[in-house]
Structure 1
Amino acid sequence: MNKFEEKTIKTEKIFEGKIISLQVDEVELPNGKTSKRELIKHPGAVAVIAITDDNKIVLVEQYRKPLEKTLVEIPAGKLEDGENPIIAAIRELEEETGYTTNDLHFVTSFYSSPGFADELLHIYITNELTKVDNPKPGDEDEFVEVLELTLDEAKQLVTEERIHDAKTNYAILYLHALEGRE
């Protein structure tokens, strides 16, 4: 046991949905006192930094109900039960953008909001894209528009807060750092 570990005393399941579940854990703190933790359980997700032959970033614009606004993001989606993240990344890339690849490279993984959720997001990159004639259909309740932007155009969307999510901001920062090494 590490000195910061919180021992779970009791778990109460509150909600079980198709994307997340919510539970409240009663925990024993390192000092012996107890507290409650509201936890979101998530199967994990993938995202792809996709670069076209003419060095443009493939992004999708979509409405995000929790924010009540539209964001521009890198293609992404949740993992299915037991799904390999690299397979999920290729699937999401095709469903959301109509592109596929046989050359996907792992960049990093990170927890999106570790204060209350266990979602682990895996990011991949590719610059070997092929347009699919008949791409797999996306989720029937998902509406996206594909954008292809230069890095400078994407940086401008960051300043305008049209790109305003962690994974896409990470992707833009990552591409900016790569650009500096060239």
Structure 2
Amino acid sequence: MLLGEKVGYNGFLTVNVRRYRLPDGREADWDVFGPESAAGVRAGVTVLPLTPDGRIVAVRMFRAGPDKIVTNLPGGLIDPGEDPADAGRRELEEETGYTCDSIEVMGWTWSGSSSTFRKYVAIARGCRPDGKQSLDDFEDCVPVELTLDEFRTELRTPGAMTGTDAAYLVLDHAGLL
């Protein structure tokens, strides 16, 4: 049972400290990410961009957690009041320079087991490099087109990708597993 909650850290994301009474009566503090950042963001979106010939548009970029360049599906934070599909379309173009004919949100998952941050997943079809890449100050996204087999290899290679949970979920929804 949740007994109380306080903000432990409020930066790019928020870490709350929750106090619980466990089933055996003991009390414990748990660090929980979310639900929102200092900017009011409560969720993110990950996009599986498919080109007309079935290639997957991914990005290679530096990530501080793994402390190296990894492969990601494009995505990012959903602005307050923004529809997840609109955020996915926006993030796709900002990170890759690709636009799409259609985008469909397939569902969402928790960002992690100690998180209240929702991560929506979407499939973008008809993706083509006719937009304008517009990166944030500290983003260094390099778009790459991968075949389904190449993308699966990235997924199976330990440490090569982040966001693999969302990648598998959206591949499943797309019928590509």
Among residues 139, 142, 149, which one is paired with 1:142 in the alignment?
139
CA contact (8 A) 2:60 2:141 kept: yes
Letter aligned with residue 140 of structure 1 = D
Larger Cα-atom Rg: 1
What's the offset of the Cα at 1:179?
A: 4.5
The CA distance in 2 between the partners of 1:106 and 1:25, in whole Å, is 31
Aligned twin of 1:7: 2
SS of the residue corresponding to residue 87 of structure 2 reads helix
Q: 5+ unaligned residues in a row in structure 1: which ranges?
A: 1-5
The change in CA–CA distance for 1:155 and 1:173 in structure 2 (over 3 A counts) is farther
Letter aligned with residue 170 of structure 1 = L
Instruction: Please tell me the root mean square deviation across aligned C-alpha atoms, in Å.
Output: 2.1
Aligned twin of 2:152: 155
Among residues 119, 122, 127, which one is paired with 1:121 in the alignment?
119
Aligned twin of 1:28: 21
The CA distance in 1 between the partners of 2:54 and 2:26, in whole Å, is 55
Aligned twin of 2:39: none
Aligned twin of 1:63: 62
What's the offset of the Cα at 1:69?
A: 1.9
Letter aligned with residue 89 of structure 1 = G
Q: 5+ unaligned residues in a row in structure 2: which ranges?
A: 37-41
The CA distance in 2 between the partners of 1:157 and 1:14, in whole Å, is 35
The CA distance in 2 between the partners of 1:24 and 1:179, in whole Å, is 39
What does the per-residue CA deviation read over 1:22-49, in whole Å, with 9 as the maximum and x for residues that have no partner? 1212222344432212111142110111
Aligned twin of 2:76: 77
In the alignment of these two chains, the number of paired residues is 169
Letter aligned with residue 84 of structure 1 = D
What's the offset of the Cα at 1:21?
A: 0.9
SS of the residue corresponding to residue 116 of structure 2 reads coil
What does the per-residue CA deviation read over 1:113-163, in whole Å, with 9 as the maximum and x for residues that have no partner? 12x111111111122224334x25121110011000110111222233323
The CA distance in 1 between the partners of 2:92 and 2:137, in whole Å, is 16
Q: Could you tell me the percent identity over the aligned residues?
A: 24
What's the offset of the Cα at 1:53?
A: 1.5
SS of the residue corresponding to residue 137 of structure 2 reads coil
